[in-house]
Amino acid sequence: MDVDAFAKRARKELLATGKKVRTSTVETRDDLTTQKQIGRLALDGLSNVEIGGRLLISQPTVAHHLRKVSSKLYVSGSGRS
């Protein structure tokens, strides 16, 4: 499948639902994704509750992202709440 055509279609569909579509530019390419932000804050020793408070997301959302990050990094163990 043509990646550019897929990206254009996805963008069009997101806009149709009222979602804001982020455009990647040279200036934004180094911006951290939510998972990376959460991972960095966890590495800094913040608890899930503290991370959630800082990023204005719920503790279950933080836990979900940490599970995704840890599976990508092959890390196991229980997170701090």
Q: What is the pLDDT of residues 5-27, one digit of tens each?
A: 777 887 788 788 887 766 666 55
- How many domains, in total, are found in the chain? 1
Is the residue at 32 inside a domain?
yes
Position 46 scores a pLDDT of 95
Q: How many other CB atoms are found less than 10 A from the CB of residue 14?
A: 13
Is the residue at 66 inside a domain?
yes
d(CA 9, CA 13): 6
Position 41 scores a pLDDT of 93
First to last CA, the chain: 42
Write out pLDDT tens, residues 34-73: 888 898 899 999 999 999 999 899 999 999 989 888 877 7
d(CA 24, CA 33): 12
d(CA 29, CA 32): 8
Is the residue at 78 inside a domain?
no
Distance of CA 9 to the CA centre of its chain: 22
Is the residue at 80 inside a domain?
no
Return the residue matching tokens 């590495």: 43
Position 69 scores a pLDDT of 82
Phi/psi of residue 26, nearest 5 degrees: -60, -40
For residue 36, give the CATH number of its domain: 1.10.10
Position 48 scores a pLDDT of 94
